[in-house]
Amino acid sequence: MTGWNTDTLAQPAGAGAITIVEGSSFCVSHANGDIVPELPHGMFFRDTRLVSRSTLLIDGAPIEPLSAMTPEPFRALVVGRAGHLPGRADTPLTVERDRRIDCGLREEITIRNYSRVPMTCRVELALEADFADIFEVKEERAGGAAHPLAAGPDGRLRAESANAPDRLGVVVTAAEASVDAPRLVFEVGLPPHGSWTQRITITPTLHGEEVELDPVGAPLHESSPARRLTQWQSSMWVPTFGDDDVERIMLQSQRDLGSLRIFDPRHPERAVVAAGVPWFMALFGRDSLLASYMTLGLDPTLAVGTLQTLAELQGSKSDPASEEQPGRILHEVRLGATTNLALGGESVYYGSIDATPLFVFLLGELAAWGALPDDDDTEELIAAADRALEWIERDGDRDGDGFVEYARLNDFGLINQGWKDSWDGINFADGTLATAPIALCEVQGYVYAAYRARATIAAARGDDAGSDRWNAKATELKARFNERFWIPERRCFAVALDRDKRPVDACTSNMGHCLWSGIVDDDKAAAVAELLLSDTMFTGWGVRTLASDMGAYNPASYHNGSVWPHDSAIVAAGLMRYGFVEEAHRVIVGLLDAATHFGGRLPELFCGFDRGQYAEPVVYPASCSPQAWAAAAPFLLLRSMLRLDPSVPTGELWLAPAIPPEFGDVHLVNVPFAGTRVSLDFGGDDTSVTGLPDHITLHTAPRGPSRA
């Protein structure tokens, strides 16, 4: 096979693996805190693994893990004990590793002696740096020799890679350590019931200069990661639910999204959300756009930052290697040691068919919430949206048939360029792979929504002719879509049209995205809803990506039968849009039940086994967690339950709660809307909104698919 999606090749990091993250830096380790190069472990900075080994030994033996916790997204606290002593059932030595990630890594190692007699031990920390690119680590291609960590004249360990961008390096500092490179060694004497603590600091270097970290010994609450997270949480709305589990899920999602934010040094006030930990701590067009959309009611500044950043990186020329085209919105950005290993061989890769229409759609949604930036910035975003629409109608529609389709422009890019971008993600009912150029059903829905969004923006600016033109394009596309993609004998929409314009007849969750966008004719919606909630599609936890009676079905695959929370949340939103409240409730309740089993945090995906088969959702081993659109999914579920649909340009807000009874009353305080903050209270049949601007008219009936 000449091309494949690297996303499906990530290897699991081992049972109980610990991940901490801050911005684009992160650390993955064993349950006992050790980092080993044989697994996808490491401390990563600028998409490069700076620390490939960090193993702690006491008297030559590794730490036995007892418990590991992440009280903050950027901090891990590991509790273990030293190896057993001869003649003792239990060791009296416990070990605590308190680790924090920022640009660098800090770790405090504390050993406590619970014996009544003094004890001595030899503590060693073995360290290696291989400066492997994140793609090499993820795909287990990081087989190169570790760079030697040599002791400098200041007693610190150092290593540098001349091949890495910006001459990346690392410096390791530990007071009172003796250095036996590449090990730090401590001879420790512990009095009865005494303790010993040592701080280790691992600092990245660029061009030979150390990256600035927080001052040594700064209290946790004064650290940069803690301040950023506190600032984020203080601006969030405060949720109260009758169901404690749902409330915990919402709060966990808030924290996770705060930890996934990354900032452009040129625009430090501008936050975007990275796709997920550990392999996607970078800006991804589709992921960031959808996650920003789902969280508009939480923090619209994420959408503003995402749109502005993507607009700056919008395609301006034709380059087959990176698949850049004028007006196209990127797929991903990488900053790693070997960017030639990134898709397309460049640091920016544009091989996405859906990011471009989603860009225009999100701009329209931002306007609907009354959250557009200042006039000059808005003008720039509208200009970028118009360039995106030009791309849709020029390069996006390769053959002029009125549909947007993809086929990669080189032999090493993504074969499939929609959200199901694994190489085998688009197939017929018998399992045969579809051949590009491929026109995905949900992408036509995104284009329809983009046309509607642009029409709304034009109307709000007094451009009635422009509004009519874009609405006409949307109406024409909707009619053409329902004619060509509908399979009457199957009572469903084809997932795609293939190279020969044949309907790709697999039954997939993609058609739920079509409900969400509003492109589905009313007379077909009931059949789609019935199929999405059928036994072949709905697991009880969520909606399968591929029905269980399809030829390519595999419940433990990446895209052919698994459950993706963001996907199911979009399906629920589509069901609610067309008035299928009971069906939407089944998906919403199932997803939130799954989140409870995952400790309150929805993963990127999980296996598509039926709820009747196993009492808990089954983990997909290489799933990212936290992951942006999975963390954002509960907020889309909430918006769907509230049937909350704003239209600030027309001075209207639709709010018709349809909350499952088991969730109890819902109270939201400090919700951003139309440049102010409002409070929403829902209990029984009562709905109240406090702080709604005078110029906004509240409608207490659902908006409906045709008007949305």
pLDDT digit string, tens, across residues 483-525: 999 999 999 999 999 999 999 999 999 999 999 999 999 999 9
226-to-19, 22, 109, 214 alpha-carbon distances in Å: 17, 10, 20, 11
What is the average per-residue pLDDT within 416-425?
96
Higher per-residue confidence, 251 vs 218: 251
Residue 338 has pLDDT above 50, yes or no: no
Instruction: Dump pLDDT digits (tens) for 174-200.
Output: 988 888 878 899 999 999 999 999 999
Query: Three-state secondary structure along 340-373?
Result: HHCHHHCCEECCCCCHHHHHHHHHHHHHHCCCCC
pLDDT at 3: 30
State the pLDDT confidence band at 143, using cuts at 50, 70 and 90.
low
Token pair of 213 as six digits:
């970290």
pLDDT at 625: 83
Smallest Cα–Cα separation from 564: which of 646, 631, 663, 658?
631
| 186, 95 contact by CB (below 8 A) | no
Least confident window among 6-10, 352-356, 448-452, 676-680: 6-10
pLDDT at 1: 24
Burial (0-12, 13-18, 19+ Cβ within 10 Å), 6: middle
| 332, 349 contact by CB (below 8 A) | yes
pLDDT at 137: 85
Instruction: Dump pLDDT digits (tens) for 52-86.
Output: 999 999 999 999 999 999 888 889 999 999 976 66
Q: What is the largest CA-CA distance in the chain?
A: 88
Token pair of 482 as six digits:
């329902």
3-state DSSP assignment of residue 273: strand
Residue 257 has pLDDT above 80, yes or no: yes
Instruction: Dump pLDDT digits (tens) for 591-601.
Output: 999 999 999 99
What is the average per-residue pLDDT within 415-422?
96
- The C-alpha atoms of residue 623 and residue 382 are separated, in whole angstroms, by 36
Chain mean pLDDT for the chain: 90
pLDDT at 708: 52
pLDDT at 86: 61
Residue 322 has pLDDT above 90, yes or no: yes
Residue 6 has pLDDT above 60, yes or no: no
- The C-alpha atoms of residue 563 and residue 548 are separated, in whole angstroms, by 12
Residue 707 has pLDDT above 60, yes or no: no
Residue 165 has pLDDT above 70, yes or no: no
Instruction: Tell me which range, 106-110, 227-231, 276-280, 339-343, is most confidently predicted by mean pLDDT.
Output: 106-110
Residue 339 has pLDDT above 50, yes or no: no
What is the average per-residue pLDDT within 338-364?
79
pTM of the model: 0.90
Instruction: Dump pLDDT digits (tens) for 457-474.
Output: 999 999 999 999 999 999
pLDDT at 5: 44
3-state DSSP assignment of residue 196: strand
Higher per-residue confidence, 214 vs 396: 396
Q: Give me the percent of the chain exceeding a pLDDT of 90.
A: 72
One-character DSSP codes across 628-686: HHHHHHHHHHHHHHHTEEEEGGGTEEEE-----GGG--EEEEEEEETTEEEEEEEETTE
pLDDT at 177: 86
